[in-house]
Chains A and B, each alone.
Chain A
């Protein structure tokens, strides 16, 4: 699970305090993935080291220290939300996290993002179906392995379809989709105080 990217997503909505980040993370993942305080601060430190977030210069480490997303952090978040660049498929749980996170990132077209993943998954399924088609009837091992991959991909696609249907049917005017586009924020020391 990507705590890093969840934190980047929360900061894409605007500057936040450490404690606030932890509370919002838990609230928005339906409290399915509880975080401990140490995890949050350790991850924030690494993000800051990598130039993806910035913190108040004068703030002390702790729940009241403010953090902001940098341009590099915004780029990393967008890259991660899309399908992986290699031929692998993210495990289903990672895709769940990506969709949950994308729902909260201003300016992200979530159905379009889901379609990008769906296209990738169907393309992989076509590959395994070709393997099956070209296999000989007695190549049971190959046929069974291809089936296993096809059913696994099918489960992910079905979940994407149902998630998209839920998204379409949700009540209008959810503030999560009404927010301004993701933009790099200028560093303003002490802006949260």
Chain B
């Protein structure tokens, strides 16, 4: 399978001179269709910067970012914005749902901004919401939804249409453990359905839903787990260790 996202020797610095901070240092990362990769590290390790650069919300200081095989530095601002709307979905801890729009309208908005006819966009949005178990919440406003439901609307918005890359920053937010698990199950099934996913987190439980966990420290990738294969079965440890 081809790499949907590829970072080659990506570095990012903020400030200059004595206040220069290296947020990312020569990061190489490749994420393929169908794969969910977790970026795990403590606060300030550069993991959120990595995500905003991967999502073309911010430019790298040096290195190459390829999305769908295209070097984003060769794209105009308009081309980038269009690519973001069309191909990249984002799920952030603060869900950023628009309070004045229904669940369906929140989900269909990026499609409509991209030129999809409103009726088509709303149909796709309702389908995405239904697939996430929100068929009876499509006309509700964000303040009429529970935390778990809002999170699912945010995921529907991230995967609707022909998205090929979903980027999530601590996507389970303040949800309790079972609701958080639900969010990760949904992200997993989105990936299995043909999307590449990247989730950044400090939480090992969240990261453990990924096929591969990449560890970052001080802006560098320092280690990663082997890609999981279903045939690799460990012996379940007994109760007495």
Q: How far is the CB of A116 from chain B (nearest CB, A)?
A: 8
Interface string of A80-105 (1 = CB under 8 A from B): 00000001110100000000000000
Asked whether B30 is an interface residue with its Cβ less than 8 Å from the other chain, the reply is no
A5 to B: closest C-beta gap in Å = 18
Interface residues in A122-158 by Cβ distance below 8 A to B read 122-130, 132-133, 145, 149-150, 153-154, 157-158
Contact B204 A125 (CB under 8 A): yes
Instruction: Tell which of B59-67, B102-110, B219-227 binds the partner.
Output: B219-227
The answer to whether B8 has its CB under 8 Å from any CB of chain A is no
**Complex Cα spacing A88 to B213, Å:** 20
**A59: min CB distance to chain B, Å:** 39
Cα A122 to Cα B40 with chains together (Å):
10
Closest Cβ–Cβ distance, residue A182 to chain B (whole Å): 23
Given contacts A115-B223, A125-B205, contact A161 B42 (CB under 8 A): yes
- In the complex, what residues of B have CB within 8 A of residue A161's CB? 42, 202
CB distance from B205 to the nearest CB of A (A): 5
B214-237 near A? 1/0 per residue, CB < 8 Å: 010100001111101010111111
Number of interface residues of B (CB under 8 A): 29
Cα separation A125 to B205 with both chains bound (whole Å): 7
Chain B residues 158-193 with CB under 8 Å of chain A are 181, 185, 188
Once the chains bind, are A122 and B241 in contact (CB under 8 Å)? no
Whether the Cβ atoms of B234 and A124 lie closer than 8 Å is yes
In the complex the two chains form, what is the Cα distance from A157 to B201 in whole Å? 14
Task: Tell yes or no: B208 within 8 A of A by CB.
Answer: yes
* Given A115-B215, A119-B223, A133-B185, A126 contacting B237 (CB threshold 8 A): no
B237 touching A149 by the CB < 8 A rule?
Answer: yes
User: A165 on the interface (CB 8 Å rule)?
Assistant: yes
Cβ-based interface call for A28 (8 A): no
- Across-interface contacts of B141 in A (CB, < 8 A): none
Distance of B17 from chain A, by nearest CB (Å): 23
- By beta carbon, the residue of chain A nearest B224 is A119
Provide the bound-state CA to CA distance between A132 and B213, in Å.
18
The one of B181, B204, B224, B230 in contact with A154, judged by C-beta atoms closer than 8 angstroms, is B204
Residue of B nearest to A146 (CB): B236
Is B200 among interface residues, defined by CB-CB distance under 8 A?
Answer: no
Main secondary structure of the interface of B (DSSP, over half): loop
Measured CB to CB, the closest approach of chain B to A118, in angstroms, equals 7
B225 touches A126 (CB 8 A): yes
Q: How far is the CA of A124 from the CA of B213 in the complex (A)?
A: 12
The answer, among A87, A89, A126, A145, for a CB contact under 8 Å with B208, is A126
The answer to whether B237 and A122 touch across the interface, beta carbons within 8 angstroms, is no
Q: Nearest A residue to B213 by beta-carbon distance? A: A122
Whether B204 lies near A87 (C-beta < 8 A) is no
Query: Is A110 located at the chain interface by the 8 A CB criterion?
Result: no
Q: Is the CB of A88 within 8 A of B241?
A: yes
Chain A hits for B230, CB < 8 A: 130
Q: What 3 pairs across the A-B complex have the smallest Cβ distances?
A: A125-B208, A129-B208, A157-B204
Q: Which of B's residues lie within 8 Å of A, judged by CB? A: 40, 42, 181, 185, 188, 202, 204-205, 207-210, 213, 215, 217, 222-226, 228, 230, 232-237, 241
A residues sitting closer than 8 Å to B (CB atoms) are 87-89, 91, 111, 115, 118-119, 121-130, 132-133, 145, 149-150, 153-154, 157-158, 161, 164-165
Provide a sorted-by-A list of 17 A–B residue pairs whose CB atoms are within 8 angstroms: A89-B237, A89-B241, A119-B215, A119-B225, A123-B213, A124-B234, A125-B204, A126-B208, A126-B228, A127-B228, A129-B208, A150-B208, A154-B204, A154-B205, A161-B42, A161-B202, A164-B42
Name 13 extra pairs, CB < 8 A, besides A89-B237, A121-B204, A122-B40.
Answer: A87-B234, A87-B237, A118-B215, A119-B215, A119-B223, A123-B225, A126-B228, A127-B232, A128-B208, A129-B205, A129-B209, A145-B236, A153-B204
